[in-house]
Amino acid sequence: MAGDAIRMDGKVAIITGGAGGIGGATARLMTARGARVAIADIMLDRAEALAGELDGAIAIHLDLESEASTQAMVATTVQHFGRLDVLHNNAALLGPEIAQNDGDVEHMDTALWDRTFAINVRGTMVACRSALPHLREVRGNIVNTVSNLALQGHMIQAAYSSSKAALIQLTRAIAASHGKAGVRCNAVAPGMTMTPALLEAFPVPLRQAVEDETLRDQLGVAEDIAEAVAFLASDAARNITGEVLVCDGGGTAHVPGISRFRTFFGEHA
């Protein structure tokens, strides 16, 4: 029995941004473990294509910037499946143009800051608010995708990283307010992960710089993050709530400048 705790048979999960890299991998993994998933995304055609491949899955059009759309996502899922066990808040405002314009605070565009918070933070809060009554009924849980950038300062992506830090606090707030009612809430913080969106948005030399700072021999892929999400969403994580599980190949786990130490000792070995 204990060995089956990672399984998700009979459970229903919503995955926002489910048509993307990490969301898509999570939808596949949860389905393989027995769950039925609602793939919610602003890119409906991609969500439909993935749902067509997965047993019992449905696709839902979601625009997290719209409160009505976000509420409808939860209502449609519960109407279709009759229950909701897991809400995986994974969608975020991303893309090469966004990343290019989201720099340091001195040069921040107010509209970009507001849109980032409207989608990443307010949208996630609305999704949680809509889902909580259903999650309480089945002692379900929430997993929020944040980022290693929510835990460390950087010279880029001030709006994105601040919004992800806000999601960590939202995670703790929900865990604290709904834990006794049986609802857990956790976050997964990926480091740089080789999704198609990332490959498009991030220059190769900077990618190499991040890889040099990780403790593995390669950067993570979407399936690595999906494993962490599916674990936290499963009963195997029943004693874990209000936590941030960093899934970044050790990128945040060491002293600054370790790649230079590696070079020094490597050269003198």
Ligand X SMILES: NC(=O)c1ccc[n+]([C@@H]2O[C@H](COP(=O)([O-])OP(=O)(O)OC[C@H]3O[C@@H](n4cnc5c(N)ncnc54)[C@H](O)[C@@H]3O)[C@@H](O)[C@H]2O)c1
Asked if residue 190 binds ligand X (CB under 6 A), the reply is yes
Residue closer to ligand X by CB (options 172, 207) is: 207
Q: Rule CB under 6 A: choose which of 65, 67, 223, 235 binds ligand X.
A: 65
Question: Among 26, 31, 77, 90, which residue sits at the site for ligand X (rule: CB under 6 A)?
Answer: 90
Give a three-class secondary structure readout of the chain.
CHHHCCCCCCCEEEEECCCCHHHHHHHHHHHHCCCEEEEEECCHHHHHHHHHHCCCCEEEECCCCCHHHHHHHHHHHHHHHCCCCEEEECCCCCCHHHHHHCCCHHHCCHHHHHHHHHHHHHHHHHHHHHHHHHHHHHCCEEEEECCHHHCCCCCCCHHHHHHHHHHHHHHHHHHHHHHHHCCEEEEEEECCECCHHHHHHCCHHHHHHHHHHCCCCCCECHHHHHHHHHHHHCHHHCCCCCCEEEECCCCCCCCCCHHHHHHHHHHHC
Considering beta carbons, is residue 120 or 241 the nearer one to ligand X?
A: 120
Is residue 140 part of the contact set for ligand X (CB under 6 A)? no
160 an active-site residue? yes
Residue 193 touches ligand X, criterion: CB under 6 A: yes
Task: Determine if 29 is a binding residue for ligand X (CB under 6 A).
Answer: no
93 touches ligand X by CB under 6 A:
yes
Q: Which of 59, 135, 160, 197 is catalytic?
A: 160
For the bound state, the minimum distance from the C-beta of residue 126 to ligand X, rounded and expressed in Å, comes to: 11
List 8, 13, 15, 21, residue binding ligand X (CB under 6 A): 21
Stretch that binds ligand X, among 27-35, 79-87, 185-193, 227-235 (CB under 6 A): 185-193
In terms of CB distance, is 42 or 72 closer to ligand X?
A: 42
Interacting residues with ligand X (CB under 6 A): 16-17, 19-23, 41-43, 62-65, 90-94, 119, 145, 147, 190, 192-193, 195, 197-198
Residues designated as active site: 160
